[in-house]
């Protein structure tokens, strides 16, 4: 047995397997683009109500959650985040829910609401 074989087990990717992975990624991106088109069309349609837009968004978010959950697994109810900072100091945050983590850790540094609202206002 060669050294590289002992250290790194060989994984066989057939063209069929590789094609499936590439196609599924493209399909998901295409689906997101299609969702965006549906939102734009619904907003631009004369007489469309806020309720119709919210219903569409709710359905699309449930589909996105379903696909991401299949790929990454269903998120836990709570988790503990452990990390080392630049000074090699150990920190532990939690247990927190994913929403609490977003509100306390992510949103102050990178507020998604500002990013989404800027682009949404340009569409309307």
The per-residue pLDDT for 72 is: 75
Name, in order, each residue with C-beta under 8 angstroms of 94's C-beta and a sequence gap of 6 or more. 78, 79, 80, 81, 101
Tokens standing for residue 104: 């306390």
- The structural domains of the chain, with segments of one domain joined by +, span 1-74, 76-124
What DSSP element (H or E) covers 84?
A: strand 79-84
The count of residues in the chain is 124
The per-residue pLDDT for 90 is: 93
3-state secondary structure of 81: strand
The per-residue pLDDT for 24 is: 61
Residue ranges, the chain, pLDDT below 50: 1-11, 13, 18-20, 119, 123-124
Name, in order, each residue with C-beta under 8 angstroms of 105's C-beta and a sequence gap of 6 or more. 81, 93
Residues 94-116: pLDDT tens digits?
A: 899 988 988 888 888 887 777 66
Residue 73 φ then ψ, to 5°: 100, 160
């Amino acid at each position: 047995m060669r050294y590289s074989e002992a250290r790194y087990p060989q994984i066989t990717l057939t063209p069929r397997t590789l094609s499936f992975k590439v196609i599924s990624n493209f399909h998901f991106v295409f689906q997101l683009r299609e969702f965006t088109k549906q939102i734009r069309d619904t907003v631009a349609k004369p007489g469309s109500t806020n309720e119709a837009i919210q219903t569409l968004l709710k359905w699309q978010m449930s589909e996105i959650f379903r696909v991401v959950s299949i790929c990454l697994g269903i998120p836990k109810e709570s988790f503990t985040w452990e990390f080392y900072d630049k000074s090699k100091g150990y920190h532990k945050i939690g247990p927190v829910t994913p929403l609490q983590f977003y509100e306390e850790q992510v949103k102050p540094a990178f507020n998604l609401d500002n990013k989404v609202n800027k682009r949404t206002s340009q569409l309307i």
